[in-house]
Structure 1
Amino acid sequence: MPDNIQNESDLPQDNGAANDSTTAAPAPDQDLSTQLAALQARNQELADQFLRAQAEMQNTRRRADEEMAKARKYAVESFADSLLPVCDSLEAGLAHADLSAEQIRQGAEATLRQLKAALERNKVLEINPPAGTKFDPHQHQAISVVPAEQEANTVVTVLQKGYLIADRILRPALVTVTAPK
């Protein structure tokens, strides 16, 4: 007996409802048929939930496929939009036939700055290693090997800039490198 109960009068009293003989127990057949009806209703409810979940999954998959198709179709939209001002600048420069060489040069430089900014906004970055940079075959393509007064296997000159898009090489930089000593 637990410590906090001193005598039988401290025990909870049973009011006898559970042992009341006036409450009739349901007939075994009626109890089983009630249980069967409840189980069939629950089965129908679960089947309905399953069908709804399947339909929702199919709808989600279809929407995702549609979004992927649109993303592929319009992937260059942002990039093209950032290049339109460059196109406008070139057309405006060509519309003026009476410009001096200096004005044309200034316009070309401004247009080049616009183009570079548009490329950078779209994560297209230059690979233009300075002389003396260690040759990296992942970013550079050696066109020739020349003797030079710098450390072996380093960039001497850049013949053509390379470009990265995000972290992927779009085009390696074409470089000349120093010959091993």
Structure 2
Amino acid sequence: MGPLGLTAIGAFLLVIAEVVVFVLVAQVIGWGWAVLIGLATMLIGAMLLKREGVRAWRRFRAAVGEGRPAGTEVSDGLTGLLGALLLLTPGFITDAVGLLLLVPPVRALAVRQVRNATERRISPAAAGDLFGPRFVRAQRDTAPAQHTGGASVTTGGAGGTTGGGEVVEGEIVDPHPRRP
């Protein structure tokens, strides 16, 4: 089964879950209150959709205007728009997920996940253009070169990568602090 089929099955199961949750909530608080809460969250979602869209566009334009990579702003904007869209969608499950995506710590986590997923799917050069340069923290190793399955760089005399020479091991360091 392809991705489209799995998406259709997931959407169908979500609709069934939303109906079940709505009926359960309506039995507890009453049908009128359940409908009123559903309409209120849809109205809030519509207002937040406009606010998040304008905010994302301004931050994107500011990053482009300053010559900074706009990937973080795009990821944050998409996460905020998704949260607002989920609030706009009828149902208590989607409302709960939409509200969670608007809470700063959860939103920051979601932005990191969007960024990581994007970086895995595009080339390192494109990721650098989108999210900015990657910095590497390295230390010189005086022991003979050994391949341990991790990444190692062997440098030659003129700084090029050639066989033989010293091994420099390092880790990628994210230069951009996470903002909520």
TM-score, shorter chain, exceeding 0.5: no
Larger relative contact order (C-alpha < 8 A, sep ≥ 6)? 2
> Which structure carries more helix by proportion?
2
- What's the TM-score, normalizing by structure 1? 0.22
Of structures 1 and 2, the larger Rg is shown by 1
Which structure shows the bigger proportion of residues in strand conformation? 1
